[in-house]
Amino acid sequence: MLQGRKVAQLGRSELAEYVQALVIAVALALVIIVFLAQAFVVQGSSMEPTLHNGERLLVDKLSYRFREPQRGEIVVFKYPADPSHRYIKRIIGLPGDTVRISDGVVYINDTPIEENYTLEPAISDFGQVAVPPDHYFVLGDNRNNSEDSRYPDVGFVPRNLMVGRAVFVFWPLGRLGLVRVPSLASQLR
């Protein structure tokens, strides 16, 4: 009888350890997802050739708590027309910049930028706009198949809708690697 009681106690303490480990794992996962990083699945072709439909990314949610988003970074943000949806685009214009597209060339503050990461130049022009404070002008790398800041339902993306920046492709394994950020700032000096 005594031996049966020890086995039952051992079973209960073992179960308690498993429950405790599970609770700690769930709490840790929630902290990571809410504050540090989150997985994101690319949907659609708007970021080709840089990112492809179905790729899975790691999105850094921490760095924008300590610094402002930078030109050239690929960001995940809440879609302004319906914040329950997430979009992924490249930051082109920062607060205070002017942006326009003419003959397929993007101009920032009247300086043309070289973009070797796009699928093809935009076929339509876009008149000059000034990026308001605390907002960003974003474009997809597939300029002719992207719903981005050129369209009123996206428009300028408010800073408070930024979820984080894409930093790492982890699936499919053949595309495993860091997300490249071109140095657009050096072209504007």
Of the listed 46, 61, 146, 149, which one is catalytic? 46
DSSP conformational letter for 69: -
Q: What is the DSSP string of 149-176?
A: TTSTTT-SEEGGGEEEEEEEEEESGGG-
- Residue 89 appears among annotated catalytic residues: yes
Residue pair 61/163 in contact by the 8 Å Cβ criterion: yes
Of the listed 61, 89, 146, 149, which one is catalytic? 89
Query: Which tokens belong to 90?
Result: 């490249």
HSE toward the beta carbon, residue 24, CA cutoff 13 A: 6
Catalytic annotation, residues: 46, 89
